[in-house]
Structure 1
């Protein structure tokens, strides 16, 4: 009886393993770097594994001439080839009198040949080396994090052909390119959907905070950071509130509309827009 119970336990455990294994395997596959079509170049680092021959496993860096050296074979041309193509080259050469039926795995672990371009409200904007499976937060961390003037959005300009010229693309010149908008508020709150994977030669722009301007009879006149949905009342409050001389009932908003300046008489609960100028006049009495 004891043996039967033990056998049942193993059968149930094995069945549960079989049920959950496919889902786990699928999740793992989705998380792998998308390197199948990536063409290797100088500076890239490759991890090469020869199954059942641990003494041949190694990490190599592609030299400036586009090659790397490997035991028995010597120099292997890697530039402009994918990892899959290099696997086939190694299998062919190692099979030529060295190993019987070698199984070879090649992975790109550092994309030093490919760069990304980061601009805007980060501490150290510029070009950065793309590492394997790099995501947006990791890149921003490399750049020293956000500045205090960071705005609400990040815009990623991505070339459909990988931007083979390896130069930054301005947002205004992005016709025909993929445009990805990231909500930085959600990103900093830990929303994984906003922490996108970076692609070779992405041009990434971190927006500056939008502003409004409050002038006249308030305690702290000047610029105020704009917040979506902000009302006239909230803007006056953020400027320290009105002075004893303020004529709150005669506030005016100066707004640019299609290049023309217009003046609006708002109610305290009306919403304002970025770059609005709130004028708080002095009371007549």
Structure 2
């Protein structure tokens, strides 16, 4: 029995190790390049007097004790560490400087937020790894009539990306992994909420908001139900397909309604 368990464990760990070796490596996150308005903290090992927290000026410079003005515009934090260390060493201020640069606030990077939000416009990414939900909050949130699926357009690792982000899944279902970090020059767009149209023999014909998973029966209920002359027999849905052509469908009550559907309720002939 012990021999069997030992053999089984060795087999299992062997498979696990093989999967670990063959698993694709996670894509590296793009490193932020310093720019005007960014706030950084500089620490020099064993030289606390040289430590400083400062903001990059409009031309991307900082003022460093002893060294003076240093341009860090367009540098990563690691490259900035090397440049400051070289300046300290070349000036004979520190023999073997060990410099750490920590990004505290990001002001040089901005994104655009458009569509159905309270305050559309350009917004700075003020903290490292700010999320889509945080940027939507900065724009005053989604207004009434706005969609709860957010579209993000940007560039990641040099390639264009377009992502649809489900806000209720993040905020209500707790799927925080869907709340991705924004990057410089991203565009966030909040479309109008999907709509449907109901006319004919219903109490309140007109335009209605399409809720998730809404059925034909629920759509009729949202329109106040049928009139005394209305009938649920022979219901028709006019639906536009991907090619732009309109198809006429005779649905069942439990069929799902789609965006921009037009539901027609006929008059009973009896």
Same fold (TM over 0.5): yes
Q: Quick one: distance in 2 between partners of 1:200 and 1:58?
A: 26
- Shift in Å, 1:34: 5.1
Alignment of 1:150-189 (within 5 A): 150-160=146-156, 177-189=160-172
1:45 is aligned to 2:29: no
2:219 match:
235
**Structure 1 residue aligned with 2:245, among 260, 266, 275?**
260
Alignment of 1:31-180 (within 5 A): 37-95=31-89, 96-131=91-126, 132-160=128-156, 177-180=160-163
| Per-residue CA distance 1:110-149 (angstroms, 9 max, x = gap) | 2211111112222111111012221112111111111122
Q: Quick one: distance in 2 between partners of 1:87 and 1:266?
A: 66
Structure 1 regions of 5+ residues with no counterpart?
Answer: 1-32, 163-175
Structure 1, 49-58 or 79-88: larger mean CA deviation: 49-58
| Per-residue CA distance 1:232-285 (angstroms, 9 max, x = gap) | 111101111111121221322122232222322222222222111111122234
Matched position secondary structure for 2:238: strand
Matched position secondary structure for 2:97: coil
Kindly tell me the number of residue pairs found equivalent between the two proteins. Answer: 239
- CA root-mean-square deviation: 2.0
Q: Quick one: distance in 2 between partners of 1:72 and 1:260?
A: 72
Matched position secondary structure for 2:82: helix
Q: Quick one: distance in 1 between partners of 2:48 and 2:134?
A: 32
2:205 match:
221
Structure 2 regions of 5+ residues with no counterpart?
Answer: 1-27
Matched position secondary structure for 1:220: coil
2:20 match:
none
Q: Quick one: distance in 2 between partners of 1:133 and 1:273?
A: 35
Say whether the 8 Å CA contact 2:133–2:167 is kept in structure 1: no
1:283 is aligned to 2:268: yes
Q: Quick one: distance in 2 between partners of 1:186 and 1:229?
A: 15
TM-score by length of 1: 0.77
Q: Quick one: distance in 2 between partners of 1:83 and 1:90?
A: 11
| Per-residue CA distance 1:141-198 (angstroms, 9 max, x = gap) | 1111111223242222222466xxxxxxxxxxxxx51222211220221321111111
Q: Quick one: distance in 2 between partners of 1:270 and 1:87?
A: 61
Say whether the 8 Å CA contact 2:196–2:262 is kept in structure 1: yes
2:189 match:
205
Q: Quick one: distance in 2 between partners of 1:260 and 1:153?
A: 26
Say whether the 8 Å CA contact 2:237–2:250 is kept in structure 1: yes
Q: Quick one: distance in 2 between partners of 1:64 and 1:113?
A: 10
1:274 match:
259
| Per-residue CA distance 1:211-246 (angstroms, 9 max, x = gap) | 111112211211121134322111101111111121
